[in-house]
Amino acid sequence: MRNNVWVYVPIYEEDSAENRLLLALHKAVQWSVELSPAEFSHDFRKQLDLRHNHQHGAYILFTSCRNETTVLGTSILAWQMEKLSLLSEWNPRARFLVVLCCNREGNDVLKLSYVKQIFLELRHVMVYNALVLVPSSSQRIQCYSWFPYNKTSKNCEEIRDIFLLDTWVSYGDRGMFLHSRFLYPEKFPTNIGGCPLRIATLIYPPHSFLLADKSHPLKVNGMEPQIISYIAQKMNASVEFRQHGYSDVRYNLSDSDSAIAIGNMKYDSDNSLQFDFTTPHYTDTNILYVPRATQRSRWVVISRVFVVSVWLLLFLTIILSSIMMRYLSGCLSLGFPQDGKHRSILKYLCISWSVLLGVPVPVIPLGNPFRVLFFFFVVFSLAINNVFQSSITSFLVDPGFEHQIDTFAELADSDLNIFLNERFEGYMYYTSVEGKRIISGSDINLLMQMAIGNKTSALFSSSATMSFTLRRNQSKYHALSDYSLQLHSIMLVKKGWPFLEPVNTVISRLVEGGIPNSIMSNITNQNIYRYRKVGVWNLITEYSSLSAERLQAAFFLLAAGLGVSFVAFAVEHATLVFKQIVQTSSQVQRVRPRFRPRRRKLLHL
């Protein structure tokens, strides 16, 4: 055990060629051998060094001619490569050394066919940096390599034949290479001579979207296709776009000849075993958008000038002022002229309300105490009236909105359904939002169509996508202030794709120059100007007059006043009629006894 890491020193058997080779390597360089099981169910009964992102640096594989077949994917080596590729430590860009153990006196043509079959098996899992050792005699070991990319051929998919790179000759305890060549040469040029670069495309505006022209081949625009054009220009490649869904993109990338997948891809642990990630080229801000609060009714704007407590305080002030005026008019010798007609509490309520509204009163107070009280009440009413008129003007122009959901806690407590892409569904697992309220899917455009115009729907989307796709409807949505998720946008490539390093170099230079952000800004701004061109011109050349709709509160108040006055009139009229009936009835009752004796006398005669 070294540094708390288990080191495995296997027991070598002298009768096995591979074990003798491993023993010699172990003695020469004192390697600590780390064992990786070919199957997850394999039990070594000891702790393995499975540190995070600890990729293998080199592989030594052994196979024999009897274990190899001419059918791709059926050999023992193919089975080994399949098991190794499922490990998290799998590194197809490492150096591979394959030892093919065959009969030294066997058929050389058959040996070469086995060697080619080995390279084809390695190519199937994107392994290109490989060397195959074939013993030809007791003193010679032939080293075979290949260049899988044929730049000079008209058919870019054509594979070159294998060739003998070098030969190891041993004499005694020593040996040497005949040509002293580098055993792992560079096999992929930076200039691929116009060969196609096939792109599996997920439509995800504005990162990638279809143009109006539906001709063949597929025409795609967006930030990522423009980045691909820079990459293709650097590699001297032609570009072919192929449209797929999200799940189809990964399937197409792993089982076809597509090299790169675009469409606002994100880092995903589920994809790390099958794919490699390019350098991030854009930081995408994903925000929860909720429906904007509905506008308040214009007929209630007058009541919104003050809160309920202030309205109650104002009415209480009017009532108290009316009572004090009534008390002073009754106690003082001089009050209003014709005091007997104005000593009703209802009259003083009308006077107080008129003063508060700035309406002249029919009479003025004559007594000094009454004048002082009236003066201070006028000053108080003037201050209240100025505040009221200033506020009511703004409310008539803009009545405001109802309560706006602005935090994630408010969203969780609401009944809104959340529409989001299935790639982001995992971010909602540990929140208080019920699972039945989360609606996910792979097509972001379909999700937006389902969410737009639905007052019971929230949308978790990229801010760039929202600005590009929903520009005309963006004013109907409000972005939560406390919930945003910044994720790096990347591209997926096949695990072990040999051009990943030059592609990352191009992307890094573009990011350093701010090119992706500039492309995204141009795309979204172009869409914004297309929808805002007419609106800006109208704002400059036309004026908007106030309509009757903005005066709903005044008309509703007038209608309410007319209704109340009619009710008061009806009550007052009914009261007068009732009083007349009662008065007539009482008079009849008083007159009736005087006529009864006379009637009796007449009846007696």
Mean pLDDT (the chain) is 75
What pLDDT, on the 0 to 100 scale, is given for residue 2?
39
Task: Find the mean pLDDT for residues 28-54.
Answer: 49
Write the burial class of residue 172 (CB in 10 Å: 0-12 exposed, 13-18 middle, 19+ buried).
Answer: exposed
Collapsing DSSP to helix, strand or coil, 22 comes out as: helix
User: What domain range is 590 assigned to?
Assistant: 551-604
Q: Edge-to-edge strand order for the sheet containing 58-64? A: 58-64, 95-101, 130-135, 140-145, 163-171, 174-177
Mean pLDDT of all residues in 558-582: 79
Give the mean model confidence (pLDDT) for residues 289-305: 75
Number of domains in the chain: 3
Q: What is the pLDDT confidence band of residue 510, given thresholds at 50, 70 and 90? A: very high
Position 281 in a domain: no
Write down which residue in 397, 425, 441 finishes a domain. 397
Judged against a pLDDT cut of 60, whether residue 209 lies above it is answered with yes
| Range list of H helices, 415-491 | 444-451, 463-469
Tell me if 41 is assigned to some domain. Answer: yes
One-letter-per-residue 3-state SS of 283-302: EEEEEEEEECCCECCHHHCH
Residue 59 lies in a domain: yes
- Report the distance separating Cα 220 and Cα 217, nearest Å: 10
| Secondary structure (H, E, C), 365-385 | CCCHHHHHHHHHHHHHHHHHH
Total-model pTM: 0.65
Identify the domain boundary among 154, 177, 200.
177
User: Is position 226 within any domain?
Assistant: no
Going from the C-alpha of 534 to that of each of 27, 412, 469, 473, 537, the distances in angstroms are 81, 39, 19, 16, 5
Question: Tokens 């797929």 sit at which residue?
Answer: 244
Percent with pLDDT over 70 in the chain? 69
Q: Which of 3-7, 73-77, 403-407 has the highest mean pLDDT?
A: 403-407
**Which of 358, 381, 397 marks a domain boundary?**
397
Q: What are the φ/ψ torsions at residue 198 (nearest 5 degrees)?
A: -90, 130
* Residue-by-residue DSSP string for 211-222: -S---SS--EES
Q: Please indicate, yes or no, if residue 11 is contained in any of the structural domains.
A: no
Q: Is residue 172 included in any domain, yes or no?
A: yes
In a domain, 241, yes or no: no
Is 463 among the domain residues?
Answer: no
Q: Quick one: residue 61, left, alpha or beta (phi over 0 = left, psi -120 to 50 = alpha)? A: beta
- Of 404-408, 441-445, 477-481, 540-544, the poorest mean pLDDT is in 540-544
Distance between CA 400 and CA 297 in Å, rounded? 9
- What is residue 509's predicted lDDT score, i.e. its pLDDT? 94
Q: Residue 415 pLDDT more than 70?
A: yes
Mean pLDDT, range 533-548, rounded to an integer: 46
Question: Residue 19: its pLDDT value, please?
Answer: 64
CA 378 from chain centre, in angstroms, equals 58
pLDDT per residue as tens digits for the range 146-156: 877 665 555 66
